[in-house]
């Protein structure tokens, strides 16, 4: 039988939307924050300068969410492939994440943001992991915005880790092979407490998804915009979410 004490608890505790008050905009927006390096290069500065500018953008976008009905925001901060960057850039990004958490904790909590991290934490340094755990614990009961930060995250890696845990449950007799279906696997993903994204935005003009939320975005709408992440504004975010409201999502069916 399925053990709810495992990290793969069912999705039932995602609070359903009030059916009498469903905004037209997306409930869950995921963002690939791309273009920090080019933004810095255009200014003759080192790439890390762009990452710092990018980190400063995050707060404005988080704070826009409640105004436009976005309940869940998921941002791609560091991928499993980003370790291939220079040692200087990787170390600089890790230091930035530690500083970001330390500096933003108060503001995030005061604003009512519930912060979660997805990705494989094993490769992250202990100090960063402790900061992540503490921020998650501190903000666990907040409900105004659910901010998920993907850190050392890769969609394929996530599915592989999930499959490993699922296989362990089968081997230990907690799950029967015939009960494995497309409702079961997502319970083992890092995102098991999140609804699937409705809208995925990528900045910087690249039109690819780079291993981000592969399973979860099966029916998402996509927006690829030319703006480099450090220039991405509240206005552009609002415009994209409003445009989403005008789209006709059929999930493979036909309109009644």
Residue 71, number of CB atoms within 10 A of its CB: 20
Q: Please report whether residue 92 would count as binding ligand FPP according to CB under 6 A.
A: no
Nearest in space to 9 (alpha carbons), one of 218, 165, 197: 165
CA 74 from centre of chain? 3
Return contacts of 14-20, CB within 8 angstroms, 24+ apart: 14/193, 14/194, 14/195
Q: Please report whether residue 38 would count as binding ligand FPP according to CB under 6 A.
A: yes
Contact set for ligand FPP, span 142-171 (CB under 6 A) = 149
Q: Please report whether residue 225 would count as binding ligand FPP according to CB under 6 A.
A: no
Using CA atoms, how far residue 105 sits from 66, 100, 113, 226, 229, in Å, is 19, 8, 10, 30, 22
Output the smallest distance, CB 96 to ligand FPP, in A.
Answer: 6
- Whichever of 43 and 156 has its CB closer to ligand FPP, that residue is 43
Distance in angstroms (rounded) separating the CA atoms of residues 243 and 152 = 31
For residues 58 and 232, the answer to whether their CB atoms sit within 8 Å is: no
Q: Which of 9, 46, 82, 94 binds ligand FPP (CB under 6 A)?
A: 82
Span of 5-13, 92-100, 113-121, 246-254 interacting with ligand FPP by CB under 6 A:
92-100
Q: Which of 25, 26, 35, 154 binds ligand FPP (CB under 6 A)?
A: 35
Q: Please report whether residue 97 would count as binding ligand FPP according to CB under 6 A.
A: yes
- Whichever of 23 and 112 has its CB closer to ligand FPP, that residue is 112
Which x/- pattern, by CB under 6 A, does the window 9-28 give for ligand FPP?
A: --------------------
Output the smallest distance, CB 104 to ligand FPP, in A.
Answer: 8
- Whichever of 51 and 146 has its CB closer to ligand FPP, that residue is 51
Q: Please report whether residue 59 would count as binding ligand FPP according to CB under 6 A.
A: no
Nearest in space to 203 (alpha carbons), one of 32, 83, 53, 76: 32
- Order of all β-strands in the sheet with 28-32: 113-118, 145-153, 72-79, 28-32, 199-202, 221-224
Contact set for ligand FPP, span 100-129 (CB under 6 A) = 100
Three-state DSSP at 149 gives: strand
Characterise 251 by phi-psi region: left (phi > 0), alpha (psi -120 to 50), beta (else): left
The residues annotated as belonging to the active site are 34, 82
Span of 96-104, 153-161, 212-220, 233-241 interacting with ligand FPP by CB under 6 A:
96-104
Query: Footprint of ligand FPP on this chain (CB under 6 A)?
Result: 33-38, 51, 54-55, 58, 75, 77, 82, 96-97, 100, 149, 204, 229
């Amino acid at each position: 039988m399925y053990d709810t004490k495992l990290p793969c608890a069912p999705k039932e505790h995602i609070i359903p939307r009030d059916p009498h008050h469903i905004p037209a905009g997306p409930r869950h927006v995921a963002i690939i924050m791309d273009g920090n390096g080019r933004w810095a290069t255009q200014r003759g500065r080192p790439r890390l300068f762009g990452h710092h500018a990018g980190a400063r953008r995050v707060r404005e976008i988080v704070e826009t969410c409640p105004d436009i009905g976005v309940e869940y925001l998921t941002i791609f901060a560091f991928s499993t492939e980003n370790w291939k960057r220079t040692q200087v850039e990787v170390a600089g990004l890790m230091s930035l994440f530690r500083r970001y958490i330390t500096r933003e904790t108060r503001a995030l909590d005061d604003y009512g943001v519930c912060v979660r991290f997805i990705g494989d934490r094993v490769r992250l340094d202990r100090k960063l992991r402790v900061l992540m755990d503490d921020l998650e614990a501190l903000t666990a009961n907040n409900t105004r915005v659910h901010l998920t930060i993907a850190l050392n995250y890769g969609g394929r890696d996530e599915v592989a880790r999930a499959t490993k845990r699922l296989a362990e449950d089968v081997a230990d007799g907690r799950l029967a092979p015939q009960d494995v279906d497309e409702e079961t696997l997502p319970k083992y993903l890092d995102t098991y407490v999140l609804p699937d994204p409705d809208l995925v935005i990528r900045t910087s003009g690249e039109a690819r998804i780079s291993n981000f939320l592969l399973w979860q975005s099966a029916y998402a709408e996509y927006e690829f915009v030319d703006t480099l992440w450090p220039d991405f504004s509240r206005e552009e975010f609002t415009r994209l979410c409003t445009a989403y409201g005008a789209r006709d999502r059929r999930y493979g069916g036909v309109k009644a």
